[in-house]
A and B are shown apart, each in its own frame.
Chain A
Amino acid sequence: MEYMLIFTESAADFAKRNDPNEAPAYWGAWSAYAGAVAQSGIMVSGAGLQPPETATTVRIRDGKRTLHDGPYAEAKEMLAGFFVIEVPDLDTALEWAARSPASSYSSTEVRPVMPTPSKS
């Protein structure tokens, strides 16, 4: 089954990415994690995301289009990246989620991916 691991981070976590003292540990942990996932042969796809302040949100209501600067909703923990992995069951997906650096300081959400409807 395919599961999406949705990694969230706080503003302080995002700040680590460019902090000269914190960045080596931050990126070291993430690249080791991504490496372990890749080497286990379970990676389907995935990406890290630029921080929330780079987001732009689009909404159309009653034909009126509004854009706003920033993510859809302000929250303590923001979307930081995702992996889609192919594993036998939820237990295995949870094991991989627990290993993500995000789980140690923010959180990782695990969601089954909807199966693609077969074209027949």
Chain B
Amino acid sequence: MTILTRLEQWKEQGTISPEQHAHLAALSRGNPFSLFLELNVLHYAGVLAFVAGLGWTVSTWSQQLSDVLVLTILSTILAASFWYCFSRAPVWSPAETPAPSLIFDYVLYLGSLIWSLELAYLENRFHVLSGQWDFYLLASAGLFFFLAYRFDNRFVLSLGLSSLAGWFGLTISHWPAHQDGTYRQYALLYCLLVGVGGALLQRRGLKPHFFGTYLNIVANLLFWALLSGVFNRQGYGLWFLGLLIACGASLAWGLVRQHFAFVAYAAVYGYVGVSSIFLRGVHDQTAVLGYFVVTGVAMLVVLVQIGRRFGRPA
């Protein structure tokens, strides 16, 4: 029985009204057919291609073109983008706010990318901060967070989160004797900062729908940092304990909130970490392969049980 037949049946049973039937049957036949997603993808690809071309042109011809010309062009685009966004934006609300137009989000994204490009140009040509890139990244992260919350834009929020991560990383790279361990500790600090910040903002009702973005980025970064510690030859005990705690928390969160991405993170990252501990120093092929067979099947059984008990199709 096709969906159209079902709709007819539901109308006859009185489960849905004739108006609902007409509307849903038309939707099932693709009438009207929405081009929403396709137009958004075209806008995104257009902005990205434009900024990539602009960056490529500026980087290739920066010595032939005068600095004034380059900066004037970049500043004009930047000012026009932000003027458009600030002049068209609806009144700010802490709740989820739809964009006033389809191109709005992409104009903001364009402005944010041009901002990055202009800063890069300024530093490379004039060395204003003598190579202290980290301050640019911190300032950019601050601006992107402000713009993301002002205009309710996940693209720019992701830019802000990655700029902040870049600031942490670049800051450490300036230190004379930075090591992997330092990166790991600062990755944890970043996760703590972003995770707690995201949670606080959510609790205060400030764009609570952004919380998923925070959590996903923090979870992946945290697991990578913990795993890199577990792979250490020495002193991996604490990292392993941290990994187990993170896996437990991720699993619990995923099951309670029915966010199965977190169940998947716990399963995959946890399996990799535990396997690296168990197989450390084991050189017997049979033992290694036997381990993968037994644990692989065990994971399948556990995940099927989880799926049965908590799962829902998505």
Partners in one complex: no
